[in-house]
Amino acid sequence: MSPLALLYYYIGFPDLGIKDFHVDSVALELGNLEIRWYAIIIVSGIIAAFIYTYLHAKRHGLIFDDLIDLTLCAVIPGVIGARVYYVFFDYLKNPSNYSEFIDFIAVWNGGLAIYGGLIFGVVGIVIALKIKKMHVLTLLDCGFPGVLLAQSMGRWGNFFNMEAYGAETDIFCRMKLSYESGTAIYVHPTFLYESLWNLLGCIILSILFKKRKFDGQIFLMAVSWYGFGRMFIEGLRQDSLYIGQFRVSQLLAFALFVVSLVLIIVLFIKNRKRHVVRCIYTAESPKYIPYEVEDGKDSDYDYDVNMLYKKNEEKSEENVLDISPENIEADEASDEETEEVTEENTKTEENNDGEDLTEEKSEESSSETEEPTNE
């Protein structure tokens, strides 16, 4: 929580018709344990990103258990990175705030930076994807609009902490922060700006997902979108981290925007014809699901694992090996039925052979008794 947040007791949006109201950062108290709204909202954002990613990635064959593993590999390093990033730059400016070791890890007192979380989180998930032999850029395309959604929700944690606001202003959507004595200031609600900006980005990129021309396009567009918006919004904030006279997050936002935009342009030129991976797993992965689509016949990519298996069943009729678990079980069951039928047929044939021999013997004995009579 920002130290400035402790000075204010009421929030209002006078020009929007919202009167002053009190905001309590603590949602629930269990004995000496305080559960804050900030934590609840951040966790809700992670869950929302998880659901969003699964709904998109399952169309490319992603298995639910793998997504859980990937989420852990992103969230745990992400939290560590968010704290490391904040402490590193805050220490350069305020070393006196870190007199004891506990001060470096005291996340319950605030001090998490989204950029550190994104950097460490992406590194963690890329390593996990490589170990699992999955296509990195395809999964990032599926998941990063969900990251924007999570960040859009997470900014409301700043609202409950009464932090991450901007400079004083008289703009129509200004936010009123009041002292208990009644004295107030009117500031930019920068948390609201970024929340709406990220939500809009998530919606736009979700629409563009099915029209992407190359793997990594949505990921790069998400980075560019976030960097462009943050570059301006950061300039309004009052709690930025600095290097000298420069805002760290603003410089990083500008760099991410420029680099990702250049890569998008270069890759668009390089991939004039659509070229994307249709299965998240690589051919070397033990969970690889073989699936091919004729050009022009898979324009919306709207399929799931069951449909992938269905496509494989169609191929098996053409003597193409199908390795899906469902078909393997079906083949084993059919083999057992075939063996049972074969055994029954064998027994039937043996019985028939025995009956034929009996009939032949009876015919021979009857012919022998008839011959003397004819003589």
CA 73, 161, 153, 198 torsion-angle sign:
negative
**Residue 301 region, left (φ>0) first, then alpha (ψ -120 to 50), else beta?**
left
Q: What is the pLDDT of residue 228?
A: 97
Query: What would the mean pLDDT of 141-150 be, rounded to a whole number?
Result: 95
Nearest to 138 by CA among 280, 37, 342: 280
Which of 12-26, 132-146, 248-262 is predicted least confidently? 12-26
- Residues 178-225 have pLDDT tens digits of 877 778 889 999 999 999 999 999 999 999 998 888 999 999 999 999
Cα–Cα distance for residue pair 14/177, rounded to 1 Å: 11
Mean of all residue pLDDT scores within the chain: 79
| pLDDT of 66 over the 60 cut | yes
Query: What would the mean pLDDT of 290-314 be, rounded to a whole number?
Result: 45
CA 251 to chain centre: 27
Q: Which has more confidence, 280 or 180?
A: 280
The model's confidence at residue 336, banded by pLDDT at 50, 70 and 90, is low
Element (H, E) at 371: helix 325-374
Cα–Cα distance for residue pair 42/274, rounded to 1 Å: 36
| pLDDT of 317 over the 80 cut | no
Which pTM was predicted? 0.75
Nearest to 278 by CA among 261, 249, 300, 248: 300
Q: What is the pLDDT of residue 308?
A: 46
Nearest to 219 by CA among 111, 142, 114: 142
Cα–Cα distance for residue pair 217/142, rounded to 1 Å: 10
Nearest to 216 by CA among 252, 273, 263: 263
Count other C-beta atoms under 10 Å from residue 368's C-beta.
Answer: 9
Cα–Cα distance for residue pair 109/130, rounded to 1 Å: 35
Q: What is the pLDDT of residue 99?
A: 84
For the chain, give me the number of helices (H) and strands (E)?
Answer: 10, 8
Q: Which has more confidence, 292 or 125?
A: 125
